[in-house]
Amino acid sequence: MATDKSESLHLYKFLCQKIGSEQVVRLRRLTFTIVDIGNDLKSQLIYSGSKGEGLKTKGSDLDLMFIIRIIKVYESARDVPRIDRSYPLVMDTEGVSPCFTKLRLIFNDPNIYCKSIQNLVQIDSFGKYFFSNKLLKMPFLQANLKIHGPCVSDHNDVFDFALVLQCNQWISPAQPWITRSRGTWPSPDIISKITSCGVFFVPVGYKGSVNEEEEWRISFSIAEKFLIFSFNHTQLLCYALLKIVLKEIVEKQEDLKGVQSDAVSGWMKLASYFYVQKNYKTALLLTDYSLWKCTDEKIDSSVVYNLFREAKMYWNQNQEYVMKLTKHWKLYTVLKMLVLQGITFTIESPFIPPELQMEVAKFPVQFSCEFPPKQFAHFLRFLCYFHLHDLTSCTYALHQLEQTSLKCHKNGDGIFTMTFLGIAYQMIGETSLARQQFCLADQIRQELYSYMCN
Residue 85 located in a structural domain: yes
Which of 187, 211, 229 delimits the end of a domain? 229
Residue 175 located in a structural domain: yes
Residue 136 CA to residue 133 CA, distance in Å, equals: 5
The 8-class DSSP code of residue 169 comes to S
Res 95: pLDDT: 85
- Tell me, yes or no, whether 304 and 433 share the same domain: yes
Residue 105 CA to residue 118 CA, distance in Å, equals: 10
Which of 211, 229, 247 delimits the end of a domain? 229
- Tell me, yes or no, whether 212 and 286 share the same domain: no
Say whether pTM exceeds 0.75.
Answer: no
Residue 182 located in a structural domain: yes
- Tell me, yes or no, whether 148 and 221 share the same domain: yes
Res 325: pLDDT: 46
Res 308: pLDDT: 42
- Tell me, yes or no, whether 302 and 211 share the same domain: no
Residue 36 located in a structural domain: no
| Number of separate domains in the chain | 2
Residue 172 located in a structural domain: yes
- Tell me, yes or no, whether 350 and 429 share the same domain: yes
- Tell me, yes or no, whether 120 and 158 share the same domain: yes
Res 451: pLDDT: 57
Residue 237 located in a structural domain: no
- Tell me, yes or no, whether 211 and 267 share the same domain: no
In one letter, which amino acid is 11?
L
Task: Tell me the residue length of the chain.
Answer: 454
Q: Which residues pair with 346 in a beta bridge?
A: 368
Q: Please list the rounded mean pLDDT of every run of 10 residues in the chain (454 residues).
A: 74 88 89 65 70 75 81 92 84 91 85 81 86 89 79 76 92 92 91 94 91 93 91 92 79 62 73 92 89 62 44 45 47 50 79 87 69 91 95 94 74 76 94 91 73 56
Residue 400 located in a structural domain: yes
Residue 348 CA to residue 367 CA, distance in Å, equals: 10
Which of 214, 229, 244 delimits the end of a domain? 229
- Tell me, yes or no, whether 206 and 266 share the same domain: no
- Tell me, yes or no, whether 313 and 216 share the same domain: no
- Tell me, yes or no, whether 267 and 407 share the same domain: yes
Q: Which domain holds residue 393?
A: 255-453
Per-residue CA distances from 13 to 7, 17, 104, 369 (Å): 10, 6, 52, 42
Q: Is the peptide bond before 186 cis (omega within 30 degrees of 0)?
A: yes
Q: What single string gives the DSSP state of each residue in 199-268?
A: EEEES-PPTT-TTTTTEEEEE-HHHHHHHHHTS-HHHHHHHHHHHHHIIIIITT-GGGGGGGT-TTHHHH
- Tell me, yes or no, whether 353 and 408 share the same domain: yes
The packing angle between helices 412-427 and 431-453, to 10°, is 160
In one letter, which amino acid is 246?
L
* Nearest by Cα to 373 from 350, 337, 346, 404: 404
- Residue 139: give its domain's CATH number: 3.30.460
- Tell me, yes or no, whether 78 and 132 share the same domain: yes
Residue 14 located in a structural domain: no
